[in-house]
Amino acid sequence: MNELMEYTAPIWYGWKDNVLQRLPSLFFAIFVFVISFLLAKFVKRISLKVYSKSIKVHPEMAAIVGSVIYFFFILSGIFLALKILKLEQMLTHLLAGAGIVGIIAGFAFKDIASNFFAGLLLKLQQPFKKEDWVEIDSNYGVIQNVSWVTTTVKTIRGQEVYIPNQIIYRSSFINYSTFGKRRIVLESGVSYGDDLQLVRKVALDEVKNINNLSPDEQIDFYFTEIGNATYNFQLRFWIKFTSNDDFQHAMSEIIMNIKKRFEHENISIAYPVTTLDFGVKGGVNIFDHTLKFSHKDSV
């Protein structure tokens, strides 16, 4: 700052000594600046109207473009006024000092700047909007607000999470509300003794009884593997989705329906079974011998 004062002081003192001689230039410089100011306001207003009519999807961009044009004319007017007054060297030194300050501020506020530009991308791209159900950085909930710096999500636990916008573009995120529907994938297994054709038929029949089922989408059923004690299957279907309650109700409904129908058809939902073999080498198989209990043991 001291060096900047040393550079600009001689310029200012030299101009101040001849102030009376420079009065015409001063009035002309003020006139140029006023004209630039009025022109800036006029061009900004015209650009806002033109941009808003041509591109109605992103009204925020109209304000940004208008502000850029406005400041361009203002700075141009300041530069011309100083040049008329022959103070352009002072402006050069001021800009040099401002550049150094800008570099320092850039390092200090780089995260804020990153969040701001990420917010600009969100405003332009609009991958989600208010009331959309999303999963961002392991936070699952509904969008409350999308600002220039942060995005607010209300999670299913009822907490508000403020997510910096730059995090959204650093990793993938999911918008469950994009299509107005959501897919449910149920995985389970049945025992080796069950009729697999009957299992498939029963599962598909019960899906058709789901209240919120999307009728235009295909229902898929696949046996995925032969497990250690089960034939594992995967049941997939689409539901109409407006909130997380739709998903939870449909998942709960299909689980209850399948359990009840499987019990009625004598189909067993398999679970892991552990077999104990005591007939190891050097040991005794307890089923090959009669078990004897003494009176003391029975008590």
Tens digits of per-residue pLDDT, 232-264?
999 999 999 999 999 999 999 999 999 999 999
Low-confidence ranges of the chain (pLDDT < 50): 1, 3-5, 7-8, 105, 108, 297-299
pLDDT of residue 252: 95
Q: CB of 84 within 8 A of CB of 35?
A: no
Three-point CA angle 148, 154, 157, nearest 5°: 155
Q: Which amino acid is at 100?
A: I
Q: What 3 state SS string does 163-230 have?
A: EEHHHHHHCCEEECCCCCEEEEEEEEEECCCCCHHHHHHHHHHHHCCCCCECCCCCCEEEEEEECCCC
Residue 249, C-beta contacts closer than 8 angstroms, at least 6 positions apart: 211, 212
pLDDT of residue 105: 47
Burial class (CB in 10 A: 0-12, 13-18, 19+), 293: exposed
pLDDT of residue 61: 59
pLDDT of residue 23: 63
pLDDT of residue 238: 96
C-alpha 294/C-alpha 88 separation (Å) is 113
**Mutual orientation of helices 23-54 and 59-84 as an angle, nearest 10°?**
170
pLDDT of residue 4: 45
